[in-house]
Structure 1
Amino acid sequence: MGEASRVTGRFRGTFDVLHSLTYFAPETEAALTDAGLRPGRMTYFAGRAAPMGPVSPGVVAATFYNFNPELVARHIPRAWTLASPDRIIEARFEAVDAALTRLLGKDVLDSEEVAEAAELAREATAGCQADGRPLYAGHADLDWPSEPHLVLWHAITLLREHRGDGHIAALVLHGLDGLSALVSHTATGKGFLAEAAKSSRGWSDEQWNAAADALREKGLLDADGGLTEAGNDLREQIEAATNAASAGPWQRLGEEKTKRLHELCGPLSRRAVEAGAFPANVFSSRR
């Protein structure tokens, strides 16, 4: 297996940290509330969805996939009456700039390594396909920033949303709706802890337990909530399908450049984590 193929399966631990830290950084909520949004979930839903324009709650729930649609509807479309999507996008980049400066330091952000990583990551995005990927397509229509660290963040955002849209297609193909996908993913031990998943995604204990019972009836979960052999096989098939659908950027970049980008981003991600980018009680593991 070549480096480009391996990276599709290591995306979360290597690159995604540099994007997903945005959702936990206090700078994000501060910038988006300054723009007019209400603190809390609204800043997440509106911040991530804004590149698609003032879309309905159904569109946000469909593209984000594993959030309770009732939770989404509490914040969308009201968010668009408080701040325009363009202003939200502007505030989000301001927040990213501040968060990365705090976590990595200006010397690192101004380094040749970050500039090189930005150039390589942007080149990789040329291998992304917009077809059937609405969330990626919205972000891909945005203008590129000029600062290298923001170019790097935006490129990783594109790669992340490209992969995420492909992952949703794989989940649909394999018969998992948003909640059952979330329940089965927590059972892998590689994502959110169950309590954090329920809380952040807006699902009640009753809804979660009903989804778990349905997965047990299908033979995918055991009595203790762990994956059965069939459940593990299904999650592996979904991961393989996601990786296959996400290989285009790395094939475009090529093995040597992909390996170099991995070498450049790994230390940046580790430094961000060590600087406290994520709460310790949210993830069961990072990969």
Structure 2
Amino acid sequence: MGEASRVTGRFRGTFDVLHSLTYFAPETEAALTGAGLRPGRMTYFAGRAAPMGAVSPGVVAATFYNFNPDLVAKYIPRAWTLAAPEKIIEARFEAVDATLTRLLGKDTLVSEQVAEAAELAREATGGCQVDGRPLYAGHADLAWPAEPHLVLWHAITLLREHRGDGHIAALVLNGLDGLSALVSHTATGKGFLAAAAKASRGWSDEQWDGAAAKLRDKGFLDAEGGLTEAGNDLRERIEDATNAASTGPWEHLGEEKTKRLHELCGPLSRQAVEAGAFPANVFATGR
């Protein structure tokens, strides 16, 4: 296995932490409500979708994939009447700046380590493919920030959304809609509890049970809700396809630089986690 393949398989633990921590930061809620949004889920949906413009709830549900479209429609498009996407994007970067300053400290943010990581991560995005990746494409059209720590965050965001769009393509190819993908992922035991997944994604018990019944009929779940051998094979195919669709940036960056970026970002991610970036139940909520 080459370095590109190894990195795509461990993306969440090394790089994604530095992006996803913003969803749990009080600075994000403060900045986006300060821009005019209502607190709660609206800040998540609008904050992440804003780079695509004032899109419809259907577009947000399609690109986020495993959220109940009815839940999305409670906040989108109303969010765009409260704050323009451009204003939301500006507030989001302000929140990232404040969050990383709190978690990592100013000395770290102006360090050679962060500057080097930012340069390498930005270079890696040169290998991202825009075709068929709408959420990535919206973020890729944004202007690059000037400060190295914001460049690093934006680059990792691009890599994350690029990977996410590829993951959705793999789910579609393997016949899983958003809810079925969520139910089968929860059954792996890798990050989700069913109750938290239903609550955070807006699915009722009836909807969840209906999706689980269909997966059982197809032989992917057993009577207890666990994955069958066929179900495990399905999830492995999806992960393999996701990783295969995500190697472009790392092949573009090259093995030596990819390894170096991993070495630089690992300690930053650990520092952020140790500073309290995530609540204790973060992996149970699966946000």
TM range (shorter): over 0.9
What amino acid maps onto 1:164 in structure 2?
G
- Secondary structure (helix, strand or coil) at the match of 1:197 reads helix
What amino acid maps onto 1:154 in structure 2?
H
Aligned to 1:193: 193
Aligned to 2:65: 65
Q: Is the 8 A contact 1:189 1:285 kept in 2?
A: no
Q: What CA distance in whole angstroms lies between the structure 1 residues aligned with 2:238 and 2:230?
A: 12
1:218-267: CA deviation from partner (whole Å, max 9, x where unpaired) = 11111221111110100000000000111100000000000000000111
- Does residue 128 of the first structure (1) align with residue 128 of the second (2)? yes
- Secondary structure (helix, strand or coil) at the match of 1:126 reads helix
What is the Cα deviation at residue 169 of structure 1?
0.3
Q: Is the 8 A contact 1:167 1:241 kept in 2?
A: yes
Aligned to 1:23: 23
- Secondary structure (helix, strand or coil) at the match of 1:277 reads coil
- Secondary structure (helix, strand or coil) at the match of 1:276 reads coil
Q: Is the 8 A contact 1:190 1:284 kept in 2?
A: no
Q: What CA distance in whole angstroms lies between the structure 1 residues aligned with 2:184 and 2:142?
A: 34
- Secondary structure (helix, strand or coil) at the match of 1:262 reads helix
What is the Cα deviation at residue 73 of structure 1?
0.2
Q: Is the 8 A contact 1:117 1:265 kept in 2?
A: yes
- Does residue 235 of the first structure (1) align with residue 206 of the second (2)? no
What amino acid maps onto 2:209 in structure 1?
N
Structure 2-normalised TM-score? 0.98
What amino acid maps onto 1:242 in structure 2?
T
What is the Cα deviation at residue 3 of structure 1?
1.1
What is the Cα deviation at residue 110 of structure 1?
1.1
Matches within 5 A, 1:1-287: 1-284=1-284
Q: What CA distance in whole angstroms lies between the structure 1 residues aligned with 2:136 and 2:50?
A: 12
Q: What CA distance in whole angstroms lies between the structure 1 residues aligned with 2:6 and 2:178?
A: 26
Identical aligned residues as a percent = 88
What amino acid maps onto 1:111 in structure 2?
S
What is the Cα deviation at residue 284 of structure 1?
4.8
What amino acid maps onto 1:26 in structure 2?
P
Structure 1: segments with no counterpart, 5+ residues: none
What amino acid maps onto 1:145 in structure 2?
P
What is the Cα deviation at residue 285 of structure 1?
10
| Distance verdict in 2 for CA 1:152–1:132, change over 3 Å | same
What amino acid maps onto 2:282 in structure 1?
V
What amino acid maps onto 2:243 in structure 1?
N
Deviates more, 1:254-263 or 1:188-197: 188-197
Q: What CA distance in whole angstroms lies between the structure 2 residues aligned with 1:284 and 1:62?
A: 23
Deviates more, 1:49-58 or 1:190-199: 190-199
1:157-190: CA deviation from partner (whole Å, max 9, x where unpaired) = 0000000000000000000000000111111122
- Secondary structure (helix, strand or coil) at the match of 2:117 reads helix
Q: What CA distance in whole angstroms lies between the structure 2 residues aligned with 1:124 and 1:65?
A: 26
Deviates more, 1:275-284 or 1:54-63: 275-284
Q: What CA distance in whole angstroms lies between the structure 1 residues aligned with 2:263 and 2:143?
A: 27
Q: Is the 8 A contact 1:118 1:151 kept in 2?
A: yes
Flag as ranges the 4+ runs of structure 1 deviating above 6 A.
none
What is the Cα deviation at residue 192 of structure 1?
2.3
Q: Is the 8 A contact 1:196 1:282 kept in 2?
A: no
The number of aligned residues is: 286
Structure 1-normalised TM-score? 0.98
What is the Cα deviation at residue 282 of structure 1?
3.1
Q: Is the 8 A contact 2:163 2:245 kept in 1?
A: yes
What is the Cα deviation at residue 81 of structure 1?
0.3
1:79-137: CA deviation from partner (whole Å, max 9, x where unpaired) = 00000000000000000011111111111111110100000000000000100000000
Alpha-carbon RMSD: 1.1
Q: What CA distance in whole angstroms lies between the structure 1 residues aligned with 2:46 and 2:284?
A: 27
Q: Is the 8 A contact 2:186 2:193 kept in 1?
A: yes
What is the Cα deviation at residue 191 of structure 1?
2.2
